[in-house]
Chains A and B, each alone.
Chain A
Amino acid sequence: MLAAQQISHRYQTAQGPLAALDQISLTIEQGQFVCLVGPSGSGKSTLLRILAGLLKPTQGYVWLDGDPISAPDSRISVIPQQSNLMPWRTVLANVALPLEVQRVPGGERDQRAQALIELVGLAGFEASRPAELSGGMAQRVAIARSLIMEPSLLLMDEPFGPLDALTREQLGEELLRIWQTQQSAILMVTHSISEAVLLADRVLVLSQRPGRIVAQFDVDLPRPRSLDSAYSARGGELAAAIRASLQSSLSPTN
C-alpha cells in the first residue's frame, strides 16, 4: 500500500549539508502496524514528515496505492508528539476540524465526531477545552481527530512521548483496540522497545544519523494482544533482539 523507495534527505545548515536519512526503503501493507525505533537524531521525524508529504526528500519517492506522494494527502493522517489541539476549540470542534475543512455539513460532522469521541473514551468531555484535559486525554482527542477522515495510513510521531509510563501503557493497549476497529495501517515512531513489541506487526530499527534501516523484526505474537503479550517469553526474546540491534547500531564501529 505505502511504498518508500531509496529515500535520502539532507538538510542545509550553516555548517554545510547535514545528512539525515540514507537510502531508506520500506513498504507497509494495508492494515499493518509498523513501529520505527531508533536513537534520537536518527531522522525518524524527518522520515515521517516525508511520508506525510510535508517535506520533499532530497532523493527517492513515496507511493501510496500507486500514486506518488509529494504533498499532504487526505488518505494520510499524522498524530504528532504534542497533541497540537486548537486551545480555543472544544473537544468536539477539535475532532470535527478535518471535516469542517472538507466542508462536510454540520450535522454529519458532529455525529461522526461524537462517534469517535466515544471510541476513544472521552464521552462527556465534548464541550471541554484542551486546557482542561490531561496529557493523556488530549492525546486521545488527537487520535480521534486523525481517525475522522478514515485514513488508510496513520503516521504517529512518538504519540505517547510526553506521557507517564502508566498512562502510556494504557493508551498503547487502547490504541490496539481502536486500530482493530479501523482499517488503517499505522506507522509509529517510538522510543520504547516494549511498546513496539506490544503494538507492531513489524519493527524497523533505524541507525544513528544518517538514518538507515539496519534491521527488521517480524513480531509474531498472536493477536489480539494485551500488555501480557509484551511481557511473555516470546515478547521478551523479541525485545532483547531489538535492543541488541539498536545497541550495535549505536556502537562507533558501525
Chain B
Amino acid sequence: MQMTSSERQTAKLNALRMPPSLWNRLGLPLLTFAGFLLLWEAIVRVGNYPAFILPGPGQVLRKLGLVLADGSLLLHTQATLLAVLGGLSVGFVVATALGYALAKSVTVERALSPYLVASQAIPIVAIAPLLVIWFGPGLFSKVLICALIVFFPILINTIAGLRGVPRELHELMRMLRASRWQIFTKLEVPAALPVLTAGLKVGATLSVIGAVVGEFAGANAGLGYMISVADGQYDVARMFVGVFTLAALALTLYGLVDLIEKRLLAWRQAGLRNSE
C-alpha cells in the first residue's frame, strides 16, 4: 500500500521541530527574578524601612547563611518535607482508590458525593488545631492535614480522568475480551494518567500549604514552626528565609511531578507538536 507524499511530508516535519532553547526556558525566568530583587531593594531604600518591618535582600541572604550554618534550616526543611511527602502519598493512595470506586459505581457515588463536597466547605485551617489536639504536635497530625488538603483535587481528577476514557476504547477492550485487570492496566491507567498527574501537580503545592497550616497550629519543628517562632521575635529576615524555602520546596516538588509527567506522557509530545 502506498502512502501519499503529503502523508510522508507531515510525518517528516513533525520529527524536525526543535525544543525551546535554554535561554527561553531558564534565562527569561532568571531575568524576572533579578528584576524582582532590584525592585525589592529599591523599596527598602526609598521607604527606609527598619529590618524588623522589611529587611532588604542582602539581610535576608545573610540570615540564610546563618540558619544554614547552624543547621536549623536543614532540620526544619526536613521536618516539613517529611510531612509534605507523607501527606501527599497517603492522600494520593486514598484519593485514587476512592476516586476509582466513585467513578465505577453509581451507588458509591450517590452514597458519598454529598459528604465529599460538603467536606470541602470546611476550611482546613479550622480543623488543623483540632487534629493537633487529637494526634499531638508531631509528624502524624501534619501528614494527616497534608493528606486532607491534597485529597479532594486528586479525587476529582481521578474521577474526571476515568470518566474521560473514550467509550470506543472501552468497547474495543470488550471486543478483545480483556479482563478487568487488563482494562485497568492497559486502558484506564494510561488513559487517565494525563488528568491524574495534573491533579498530582496541584496536590504537590497544596501539600506544602497543608504542612505549614499544621505547623502553625502546633508543632515542634518544620518551616511553618520556624516562621511562627521568628514572628514572635520580630525576626522578619528569618521569616523571609522560611517563606522562600517553602516556595523553593513547592517549586521543586512541582518540577519533580512535572518531570515524572513528561517521562510518563512522552507519547503526548508527538500530539502536541502536531497540533502546534
Which chain A residues have a beta carbon within 8 Å of chain B's beta carbons?
52, 54, 71-72, 74, 76-78, 80, 82, 84, 86-89, 97-98, 100-102, 119-122, 125, 128-129, 131-134, 136-137, 140, 167, 170, 174, 177-178
Contacts and interface: CB of A to CB of B under 8 A. Distances in A.
Contact of A87 (B182, B186, B267): B267
A64 to B, nearest CB: 14
Contacts of A98: 176
Nearest to B13: A132
B65 interface: no
Nearest 8 CB-CB pairs, A to B? Answer: A121-B1, A131-B271, A129-B270, A84-B168, A88-B267, A101-B176, A174-B1, A101-B178
Nearest to A171: B1
Nearest to A78: B175
Interface string B1-25: 1111011001100100000000000
B169 interface: yes
Given A54-B175, A100-B186, 4 more contacts: A72-B175, A78-B172, A131-B275, A132-B274
Interface in B146-198: 166, 168-169, 171-178, 182, 186-187, 190-191, 193
Given A87-B267, A136-B7, A97 B174 contact: no
B267 A129 contact: yes
A107 to B, nearest CB: 19
Contact of A134 (B2, B10, B177, B271): B10
Contacts of A133: 11
Interface centre among B7, B172, B187, B267 (most CB of A within 10 A): B172
Contacts of B166: 84
A137 B3 contact: yes
A101 B1 contact: no
Interface centre among A89, A97, A120 (most CB of B within 10 A): A97
A131 B272 CA distance: 8
Contacts of B6: 134
B4 A167 contact: yes
Contacts of B186: 97, 100-101
Contact of B7 (A52, A89, A134, A174): A134
B174 A54 contact: yes
30 contacts: A54-B174, A71-B177, A72-B174, A72-B176, A72-B177, A76-B175, A80-B171, A82-B168, A87-B267, A87-B268, A88-B190, A88-B191, A89-B267, A97-B176, A98-B176, A101-B176, A101-B177, A102-B176, A121-B2, A121-B3, A129-B267, A131-B268, A131-B274, A131-B275, A132-B11, A134-B6, A136-B7, A167-B4, A170-B4, A178-B1
Interface centre among B166, B175, B275 (most CB of A within 10 A): B175
Given A121-B1, A121-B3, A101 B11 contact: no
A178 B98 CA distance: 47
Contacts of B171: 54, 78, 80, 84
A128 B173 CA distance: 22
B176 A129 contact: no
A51 to B, nearest CB: 12
Contacts of A121: 1-3
A59 B176 CA distance: 25
Contacts of A136: 3-4, 7
A89 to B, nearest CB: 8
B177 to A, nearest CB: 5
A129 B166 CA distance: 17
Contacts of A100: 186
B32 to A, nearest CB: 33
B11 A125 contact: yes
A136 B182 CA distance: 29
Interface in B236-259: none
A128 B2 CA distance: 17
Contacts of B4: 136, 167, 170
A84 B175 contact: no
Contact of A77 (B173, B175, B271): B175
Interface centre among A101, A140, A178 (most CB of B within 10 A): A101
B168 A128 contact: no
B7 A128 contact: no
Contacts of B14: 132
A84 B169 contact: yes
Contacts of A86: 169, 187, 190-191
